[in-house]
Amino acid sequence: MRIGFFGAAGEVTGSSYLVDTGKIRFLVDCGMFQGGAQAHAKNIAALDFGFDVRQIDFVLITHAHIDHSGLLPRLTVLGYRGPVYATPACVDLLQILLPDSAHIQEKESEWQLRHQHRKDRGARMRVTPPLYTVAQAGSALELLKGIPLGEWLQPAEGIRIRFHEAGHILGSAWIEAIVNHGGKQRRIIFSGDLGVFDRPVLRDPEMPTGEADALLIESTYGNREHRSLESTEEEIVTAFERTRAQGGNLIIPAFAVGRTQEVIYILADLVRRRRLQPLKIYVDSPMANTATHITLSHPELLDTQTRDLLDWVRAHPDQFTVEFVGDANQSRALNDVKSGAVIISASGMCEAGRIKYHLRENLPRSECTVMITGFQAFGTLGRRLVDGARKVTIFGQTVPVRAKIYTVGGLSAHADQPTLLHWLSGFRLPPKQTFTVHGEVSAQEAFVEAIKEKLGWNGIRSPRRGEFFEL
């Protein structure tokens, strides 16, 4: 039996891992690569496993983020017709995320086609075709099957699967796979993306127990410790006070799923505690609107604090208001507001969607503020802003960066190094094989050293894309 690493290996995006027992083949995550000009080429090559994808028996999805699920439609384009298992909430979110991903790709290609000739230099623009269409995304959705947390699933003979709460986004899970091979049972753990303990909205990640023959553990923030929620709140209050004093707008790029809902929670709580003045915010993302309704439809996955805050918001409509912006005309109208607007918009890495329009309008204005609230992958527009770019390119236009850029690191939905180590401490013994994944090389290296030093584990590997290991 062997496992192949086809994404999120030495990098953060493109999560995809192939388990091959010799009789059964299954895929854990089928994520899209994100960031920069190289991402499209990576996505084109991503599903080349060395065999026909129709030979895969089943697919498991840890959660709905596109870097873990976004190539499912392409998998079906290539001929896969088997089941795709995920938690029920994850299935609900994929119903909006995958068609939206396709829609964004189609619109980007259409825009490139319309602007093939650059006015400034007369050069011909290369048109990048979409990886899949909205219709093809719809075909992928037909393969989804929801499996509740904690229930055992037998997707193939000799294999049992169970999803556990990961606390990352709604419906996120880490996966326990029991595989009978060579007369022995092998226990393989896939962490997916792990969340943070004692944070708002979602329940805490479930701790692992017992032993494991193999563990794949994310390392997104394996090299850092997050700021406390208290210091994060101070940063947010400072950003709001600065923007109000300057008379500008405050723009918050946020993933439609997970981050948008967490930001809404924190802002509402700050108003409730009178750390912020009464507030009206605009959520300019149709997908975030739908995702928020899906979140509210799964109260069993929300923590007690969130349910209490929801009751307060409903009782105090004059203190905190959220307006979900619907059509494109309403979105464009927000660009005419020059002062006092608080806009949350997707995408979280500023790569696509309505956020790009708001950045184009507000980045050149020194009185405005952009508040970055999540991880920004290498090569993305968000990463360039975090790294201090003085100018960026948006829709083929050079846009000067004069707005104040705040990076609020404490809002990450990813566990930091201490949290990851705490989660690993749940194992009774070190796994026989441990692989660090879903992290840039520097984060992986630091995390491996921390595991050795703090937990005394040895023989930890950091795979690279395309590598196979025997289990």
* Alpha carbons 447 and 221: distance in angstroms, whole number: 8
Distances (CA, A) of 305 to 233, 249, 315, 317, 422: 16, 29, 16, 19, 23
Of 198, 202, 275, whose CA–CA distance to 235 is shortest?
Answer: 275
Peptide bond before 347: cis, by omega within 30 degrees of 0? yes
Q: Which amino acid is at 389?
A: A
Domains of the chain: 2-224+413-470 (3.60.15.10), 229-411 (3.40.50.10890)
* Alpha carbons 417 and 220: distance in angstroms, whole number: 9
Q: Is 282 helix (H, G, I), strand (E, B) or coil?
A: strand
Residue 284: beta bridge partners?
Answer: 345
User: Tell me, what's the pLDDT at 119?
Assistant: 52
**Angle subtended by helix axes 88-114 and 134-141, to nearest 10:** 170
Question: Using H for helix, E for strand and C for coil, what is the string for 140-162?
Answer: HHCCEEECCCCCEEEEECCEEEE
pLDDT digits (tens, 9 = 90+) for 120-151: 555 566 788 899 999 999 999 999 999 999 99
Of 273, 293, 349, whose CA–CA distance to 95 is shortest?
Answer: 293
Q: Which amino acid is at 73?
A: P
User: Tell me, what's the pLDDT at 182?
Assistant: 85
What kind and span of H or E run contains 432?
none
| HSE, side-chain direction, 13 A CA sphere, residue 184 | 9
Q: Is 284 helix (H, G, I), strand (E, B) or coil?
A: strand
Which residue ranges in the chain fall short of pLDDT 70?
A: 36, 117-125
**Angle subtended by helix axes 286-296 and 259-272, to nearest 10:** 70
User: Tell me, what's the pLDDT at 90?
Assistant: 97
pLDDT digits (tens, 9 = 90+) for 84-121: 999 999 999 999 999 989 998 998 888 788 777 555 55
Phi, psi of 326 (to 5 degrees): -90, -90
